[in-house]
Amino acid sequence: MISERGLWDILLLQDYNTAVVVLGASLLGLAGGFAGTLLLLRKRALLGDVVSHATLPGVVAAFLIMQAMGGGGKNIVGLLIGAAVSGLLAAWLVPAIRKATGLKDDAVMGIVLGAAFGLGVSLLAIAQGLPGGNQAGLQSFIYGKTASMVRDDAILIGTGAILVITVSVLLCKEFRLLCFDESFGASLGRPLLFFDGLLMLVAVGVIVIGLQAVGLILMIALLIIPASSARFWTDGFVATMVMAGLIGAASGWVGSTLSAMAAGLPAGAIIVLAAGGFFVLSLLLGTRRGLIRRLWQSIALRRRVQRQHLLRAVHEAAADAPVVEAAQLLSNRGWSVSRLHRAVRCAVRRGELVTVSKGCWRLTPKGLEGAQRIVRNHRLWELFLIHYADIAPSHVDRDADMVEHVLDAQLIDELEALLATSDTMPQSPHPLRGADE
């Protein structure tokens, strides 16, 4: 049980070892967020998984080579160089095999991932059978050893994070072209093949520096989860990278802090779980694509459609009498009583309807203006669908009714201009007031 003072020491980074681990993990999450955004937008998320698993044979092969040359085989720089070489080789093999065989990306990546990891496990078994192989710490490259991170590891991760962010910022325009409009970039004469290779180099670099922290199995999570979480908050390219970096850094901080508070919990796994928690929060609360926002938008759209149907129905019925009764609306529209009253309450609250007596309403000037606009939108879509979408006049009313409620002002202006310049526009099969569903 951690004392209150010990808890504050952890949270305020008073303990040196804890500070090293938390800062190193946060910087790794920051770098992973930036690099992962590029992979995600480039539609190569699974390629990061391939590269991370392919680093294992490189690490073990480097250990075997260094030991065969008379060294101890434990040189961390040599092991990371081996990881980088095998990771880059796997990244090159995927497009090469796809081009040579014509197989789909997912099949090729599955082949390379399985073969590379199988080779790595086989080499690892050989290495552990050699003198000193069990003490080399090669197993940590699979599962990570975040809790035992030292100052040099944190410096290495921090340097890598600075390089990743610098490259991402300096080549922001090129990476944006590569991710969103490769054909346009090629037409401008940009060396996109070079930038594509540089993007993969950035991803491999982040994976390599993160191997000792969270291991190759969990490293892919720090690349993809923060970037995926950021997409629920923003659509901007730079904003997504920054948001993903912040989520990755927060995941590293929260995960390593929780691990320090509860002895025995694997820090790498807790960091990934923290990233998963941020993903769930983003999924629910994201201001751009969050489920709650989308649910609210869906409810608001449904209410707006019902209110517009009500205004249109009252406007049509008011051609015979200015005051409309509930019975007329129920019989003409086929609504339930509860649905009608919900729409009426909404329209009254907005000042579009006024209650004359119980079950009787009339349009206000604001409501009349809105109803006429709705009828106009419906008529525009009718004519557009008949003339440009080749929809039979007998079916055009329902199709128009499905889309008229989501028109914005700009699209209405474009449709009106388009229809005004047409000399061969057929007449609508429905009167100007519109038609019932």
Encode 129-164: b = buried (16+ Cβ within 10 Å), e = exposed: eeeebeebebebbbebbbbebeeebbebbbebbeeb
Tell me how far apart the alpha carbons of residues 170 and 247 are, in angstroms, rounded to a whole number: 22
Query: Which single residue is written with the structure tokens 């520096």?
Result: 209
Tell me how far apart the alpha carbons of residues 256 and 167 are, in angstroms, rounded to a whole number: 27
What confidence score (pLDDT) does residue 133 get?
Answer: 56
What tokens appear for 186 in the block?
């090629």
Residue-number span of the structural domain to which 330 is assigned: 293-367
- 261 and 327 in a single domain? The answer is no
- 230 and 322 in a single domain? The answer is no
In a domain, 313, yes or no: yes
- 108 and 213 in a single domain? The answer is yes
What is the CATH classification number for the domain harbouring 81? 1.10.3470.10
- 114 and 201 in a single domain? The answer is yes
What tokens appear for 411 in the block?
């699209």
List per-residue pLDDT tens for the chain, 437 residues long.
Answer: 455 545 555 566 667 777 888 888 889 899 999 999 998 988 888 888 888 888 889 888 888 888 877 766 567 778 888 888 998 898 888 888 988 888 888 888 889 989 988 998 888 888 877 766 555 567 777 777 777 777 887 888 888 888 888 888 888 888 888 888 888 887 878 887 888 888 888 888 888 888 877 777 778 888 899 999 999 999 888 899 999 999 999 998 888 888 877 777 777 888 889 999 999 999 999 988 899 999 998 888 888 888 888 888 888 777 777 888 888 777 766 678 888 888 888 888 888 888 888 888 888 888 888 888 888 777 777 777 766 666 655 555 554 555 555 556 676 677 667 666 655 444 444 444 433 33
In a domain, 221, yes or no: yes
CB half-sphere exposure, 57, CA atoms < 13 A:
20
What confidence score (pLDDT) does residue 246 get?
Answer: 94
How many structural domains compose the chain? 2
What confidence score (pLDDT) does residue 240 get?
Answer: 92
Q: What is the pLDDT of residues 284-324, one digit of tens each?
A: 999 888 999 999 988 888 888 888 888 888 887 777 778 88
What confidence score (pLDDT) does residue 37 get?
Answer: 92
- 357 and 311 in a single domain? The answer is yes
Task: Choose the final residue of a domain: 367, 389, 406.
Answer: 367
- 259 and 315 in a single domain? The answer is no
Which residues, listed in sequence order, are joined to residue 355 by a DSSP beta bridge? 361
Tell me how far apart the alpha carbons of residues 97 and 86 are, in angstroms, rounded to a whole number: 16
Cα angle value 250/292/342 (rounded, 5°): 160
Q: 324 in helix, strand or coil?
A: strand
- 124 and 241 in a single domain? The answer is yes
Task: Choose the final residue of a domain: 256, 286, 316.
Answer: 286
Which residues, listed in sequence order, are joined to residue 361 by a DSSP beta bridge? 324, 355
What confidence score (pLDDT) does residue 14 get?
Answer: 65
- 115 and 146 in a single domain? The answer is yes
Whole-angstrom CA distances from 294 to 15, 170, 284, 287, 402 are: 44, 35, 9, 9, 19
- 306 and 213 in a single domain? The answer is no
Task: Choose the final residue of a domain: 264, 286, 308.
Answer: 286
- 154 and 221 in a single domain? The answer is yes
- 181 and 303 in a single domain? The answer is no
What is the CATH classification number for the domain harbouring 302? 1.10.10.10
Dihedral angle, C-alpha 287, 288, 294, 297, nearest 10 °: 80
